[in-house]
Structure 1
Amino acid sequence: MLRTLLTALAAGLMSGVLAMPSGAGESALKRLDTGDDGRGWEAVGRLELAGRGFCTGALIAPDLVLTAAHCLFDSDTGQRLDHEKIEFLAGWRNGRASAYRFVRRAVVHPSYVQKGEVAAERVRNDVALLELRHPIRNARVAPFATDARPEPGQRIGVVSYARGRAEAPSLQEVCDVIARQEGVLVMSCDVDFGSSGAPIFTFDGGAPRVVSVVSAMAEVDGRKVSLGTQLQLPLEVLRAELAAGMGGSGGSGPTMAEVGEVRETGAKFAKP
């Protein structure tokens, strides 16, 4: 059912596009196994959900991590997870991280709805901002700047953890924005289970800037695509929520969703 919904969503967003790009100019995923490979990407990390699963997140300030809203919900009950049990492992690679921090506060977009059909409104609001208990003051872990939405055809890239590559991040330096509609980006970036919340980057001026986070994946005309929000306006809302003192109440501690596993409940990924 989820695959059908996501496919329909992506197909609907693609309705104004004449043809899918061939993808010939895209780069393959590169696993960042060594310190040299991962240099500059240490602010991307794994979000551990009490040891039961994971998402991907990105540091955008010394104490703020950006991820997908659905990562903070139990997929079976729809209840919020206890964010104080979520840990950000900055630059996690082969059993070690550049920094370890638990979460102090967490806000999801106020218009995000966990239950119901996967629609454009749900994907475009699938964003969360986590405030860490202590800022990361480490010269190797430099927070990423954010930027306005990318344009269709603009070069983008993604760094993510996922099934089969959970112990080190993987970088795809070149993928494309295929379509942009109703606050949702349809992209050619290669993502999989566990990539929820992964940062999408542009590289204008040579420095990577976060412009979206991965919400879901779907299939259109036999080709896998990824879906994400246009970040700028949702992020402004989340920052305002934190500034207003929101996000401080711990969850009731329901069973943690196995976000890094293959499941088709909740706002997770469809099977490719």
Structure 2
Amino acid sequence: MKLPRLALCLALMPALLHAAPLSREHKILFFGKDERVLVQPDHLPWQAVGQLQTRSRNICTGTLVSPNVVLTAGHCFLNDQGKMDKAISFTVGLWGNEYEDRSQIAEVYVDRAFLKGLIRRKDGIYIPPNIGPRDFAFVRLKTPLGKQQGYIPVFQGSREQLKKLLNEKKWTVTLGGYPIDDQRHLRVHNHCKATDLKNDGRLTHRCNSLEGNSGSPIFVFDAKGQASIVAVQSSAPPAQRRKHEDNLSVSAPMFSQALRDFIQRAKTAESR
């Protein structure tokens, strides 16, 4: 099996007033037809989903999980050489050329084992399977946004408890973010299928996602319509392997304790 290459963050292009036409390769990346829909981020959980930008103008998707903490993917903060790419801003309520709020970044946490285990080649940066479950990151905002926008809880149970929940939901999940074909509007794939919860903590799924969806939340909704994050989008196989491999995400049990610790530190830092 070939290693997944980090290709899901992208250079920020000029503002798009309309969705760009999908290329043939992008269409192949979908599981059948494009079932994503446009969702205006003016209500939860989508108010809490926003766009991260780095110094090299790469963008990813992230989600507020406390008033001043954003959950996303670890590889979002790497440049083409595999070096840390400074985070600049996080924007919520992005819709066309307007947005609800924005904050600069105070701190980024990326797992050290993930950074150490990356494979750097001339054609890009690759994630070997042994560090794939560590492709997550936490961001502390300079200006808390979750007090106004709201934030989304992260599933706190074990792998076995998450598997039980997914069985109860018939492995139906939802993914949303800001993909390459429409970087200025939120696109959501509702009621898509998770396919396996691997022993190493990665959740495979068939939710349609493109570059820019790195760090996108994968939600499960309860009977009252309340969302919780069960995984964060990591990578997708190239188009030529789409029929044989599903998308990869990192399940919540892999990062929930580290996230709780980070949120506590963020609270301490804010109170100073």
Percent of aligned positions that are identical: 21
- Residues 42-191 of structure 1 mapped to structure 2, 5 A cutoff: 42-50=47-55, 52-76=57-81, 78-83=82-87, 86-113=88-115, 115-116=118-119, 117-136=126-145, 139=148, 141-147=149-155, 148=157, 149=162, 151=166, 153-181=170-198, 182-191=200-209
CA root-mean-square deviation: 2.7
Superimposed CA distance per residue, residues 73-120 of structure 1 (whole angstroms, 9 cap, x where no aligned partner): 1122x221223xx20001211112211001111111233136225233
Cα distance change, pair 82–221 in 1 and its aligned pair in 2 (3 A): closer
Partner SS, residue 255 of structure 2: helix
Number of equivalent positions: 221
Rounded to whole Å, the distance in 2 between the matches of 1:175 and 1:122 is 26
Q: 1:31 aligns with which of 28, 35, 38?
A: 38
**If the length of structure 1 is used for normalisation, what is the TM-score?**
0.72
Q: 2:211 aligns with which of 172, 190, 193?
A: 193
| 1:216 alignment partner in structure 2 | 235
Report which of the two has the higher share of helix.
Answer: 2
Cα distance change, pair 60–95 in 1 and its aligned pair in 2 (3 A): same
Contact 2:66 2:151 in 1 (8 A): yes
Rounded to whole Å, the distance in 2 between the matches of 1:168 and 1:180 is 30
Instruction: Single out whichever of 67-76 and 50-59 deviates more from structure 2.
Output: 50-59
Paired AA for residue 131 in structure 1: R
Contact 1:109 1:234 in 2 (8 A): no
1:243 deviates by: 4.5
Paired AA for residue 189 in structure 2: Q
1:137 deviates by: 5.4
Rounded to whole Å, the distance in 2 between the matches of 1:221 and 1:128 is 26
Contact 2:173 2:220 in 1 (8 A): yes
Q: Unpaired runs of 5+ in structure 2? A: 6-30, 120-125
Q: Unpaired runs of 5+ in structure 1? A: 8-22, 249-272
